[in-house]
Amino acid sequence: MKKETLTVELGERSYPIIIGDGLLQQAGPLLREAGLAPASKLLVVTDENVAPRYLQPLKAALEAAGYAVHSFVIGPGEQSKSLAVYEAVMTEAISAGLDRKSAILALGGGVVGDLAGFVAATYMRGIAFVQVPTTLLAHDSSVGGKVAINHPLGKNLIGAFHQPRLVLYDTSAIRTLPERERAAGFAEVLKHGLIADESFVSWLEANAEKLWQLDSELLSKAICRGCEVKASIVSADETEQNQRALLNLGHTFGHAFEALCEYSRLNHGEAISIGMCLAAKVAERIGVAQDGVYERTRQLLRQYQLPTEWPHALDPKDVLEVMKRDKKAVGGKLALVLPRAIGTVELFARVDEELVLTVMKEEAGA
- Which amino acids are annotated catalytic? 125, 146, 188, 230, 240, 244, 248, 251, 255, 268
Asked whether 234 and 144 are in contact (CB, 8 A), the reply is yes
Q: Which residue is nearest to ligand ADP (CB)?
A: 109
Q: Which run of H or of E encompasses 279?
A: helix 268-285
Residue 92 or 181: which CB sits closer to ligand ADP? 181
In whole angstroms, the minimum distance from the beta carbon of 341 to ligand ADP comes to 29
In whole angstroms, the minimum distance from the beta carbon of 295 to ligand ADP comes to 28
In whole angstroms, the minimum distance from the beta carbon of 19 to ligand ADP comes to 15
In whole angstroms, the minimum distance from the beta carbon of 263 to ligand ADP comes to 11
Strand 3-8 versus strand 344-352 pairing type: unpaired
Between helices 268-285 and 179-196, what is the axis angle to 10°? 30
Rg (CA), the chain: 21
Residue 46 or 102: which CB sits closer to ligand ADP? 46
Asked whether 268 and 109 are in contact (CB, 8 A), the reply is no
CA 150 – CA 298 distance, rounded (Å): 33
Q: Which run of H or of E encompasses 280?
A: helix 268-285
Which residues of the shown chain bind ligand ADP in the complex (CB under 6 A)?
47, 49-50, 76-77, 108-112, 134-135, 137-138, 173, 176-177, 181
Residue 138 or 149: which CB sits closer to ligand ADP? 138
Residue 193 or 269: which CB sits closer to ligand ADP? 269
